[in-house]
Structure 1
Amino acid sequence: MAIAIGNPDRLPVMILADTELVGFLVLIKNEDVREVGADPATAVLIRSLSISETQRGQGFATQALQLLPAFVRHHFPEATTLTLSVDHGNFPAQKLYEKVGYTDTGRRRFGPYGEQYVLTQNL
């Protein structure tokens, strides 16, 4: 999250339950979206989606991802897609992303934990 502070191409987003911080993510625009093969003119990249271990399984990630398209359309009106990458072995996250409307682009990248699938959702 620290890398996003002061960077106009990175927007840190807190996920709150009432006033309690339960998670966060970072939205990235412009040239850094190329790391997943996305178009910097139209894509917003979701990075570092994380829910507190004590809050997992309560639907906060699902709700945040369902609210995210409207938030992105408001803050990044030029954006037409949301893009993210997910580790090949992270089956719960893959199911979550599929449930909220993300589809596999067929693109692959390699991260610190190996192969990652690049997913996208139209806005």
Structure 2
Amino acid sequence: MRIGDLAQRTGASVRSLRYYEEQGMLSSRRSASGQRHYGEDAVCRVLLIRQFFAVGMTGKVIAALLPHLKDPGEGKRCPPEVLRQLTAERDRIDAQSDELTRTRQTLDALIKTAQEAPRSPRF
């Protein structure tokens, strides 16, 4: 599939797809005229890259991890440093999730207080 098709199927911009390729996170083959062509597996890869970016992972970290994540079963054979990075990212996401939960609870309390506040009569 061409880059525009991949962009449409994944919600990523063409510019983002080019960036992913420049950073070694995505690969394509080129036609004789220089157009990028991607296999079906690129859809899942781009969705994973976008998911990782959405939780705050950096491009450098994503690029380092992706070669070890081709097949879910391969996680068992990750080098120790990759396993440490995966664990650190998971722990960071857990902490971020906990902070979001606390923030939501604060907002819920503020909303409840605002809704229960007596209203002054209108004349």
Question: Smaller-chain TM-score range?
Answer: under 0.3
- TM-score of the superposed pair, with normalisation by structure 1: 0.28
- TM-score of the superposed pair, with normalisation by structure 2: 0.28
Greater share of strand? 1
Structure whose alpha-carbon radius of gyration is higher = 2
Greater share of helix? 2
